Amino acid sequence: MLPTLLANGGPVIWLILIAAAAAAVVFVERALYCHRAQINSAEFLNGVRTVIKRGNVVEAIAICDATAGPVARLVKAAILSRELGRDRVREAVEEAGLIEVPRLEEKLNLLATIAQIAPLLGLFGTIIGFIHVFTKLQAAGLYAHLDMLSAGVWESLVCAAAGIALAIPAHAGYNYLVSRVNKIVLDMERAAAEIVNIVTENSNGK
């Protein structure tokens, strides 16, 4: 079935397949990145708090280095600037967040673009198919018959179906990744507020 569709889809079907491959690669890479970035921030912060309260800052930084994800890097930035005052700690956390959020959102625009243009590629293929049909009809004139129409109609239908078939999972994948990124960003915001309190309270207590 697939070889038949590829053979009858015309040149546009290959553009749609390339877009589908790119979308699949982006989705898998971003899903794995989000999976690695998502941690149990409450448990992580409890461990860091315990170590900092014991005054073992080196161990707290080591915990951050050993933990993957943007939350750990935000916490590390706060710990490193702990002796500069609350405002500077907050600024350090915000600066770290400005670096981490674009990393989370990287390539999502490409997936959204593919989801948006996939139906247009299908429509383009449909139009090309009908152009082929009418070209053959015009050339054949009174001698036109049904077999002349089949190739162009095949091309039109295959491209239209392929474009929609790509757009649906691409939209779903994009929305899924956006929800994962939003959840991680929310964890970052909570962790940022908490770590500022943790390191400043500890500094004031010294």
Confidence at 132, pLDDT banded by 50, 70, 90: confident
- Chain segment 186-201, per-residue pLDDT in tens: 989 888 888 888 887 7
Taking the whole predicted model, whether its pTM rises above 0.85 is answered as: no
Please check the confidence at residue 21 and state whether its pLDDT lies above 90: yes
Residue matched to tokens 């054949």: 140
Residue 90 class from Cβ within 10 Å (0-12 exposed, 13-18 middle, 19+ buried)? middle
- Token representation of residue 163: 């474009």
Helices of type H across 82-145: 86-105, 108-140
Residues 6+ apart with CB under 8 A from 149: 133, 136, 137
- Token representation of residue 64: 């951050």
Q: Can you tell me the mean pLDDT for 180-188?
A: 92
Q: Which residue has the higher pLDDT, 23 or 90?
A: 23
Domain edges within the chain:
2-205
- Chain segment 29-41, per-residue pLDDT in tens: 999 999 998 888 8
Q: Can you tell me the mean pLDDT for 109-125?
A: 94
Tell me how crowded residue 80 is: count the other CB atoms within 10 A of its CB: 16
Residue matched to tokens 């053959």: 136
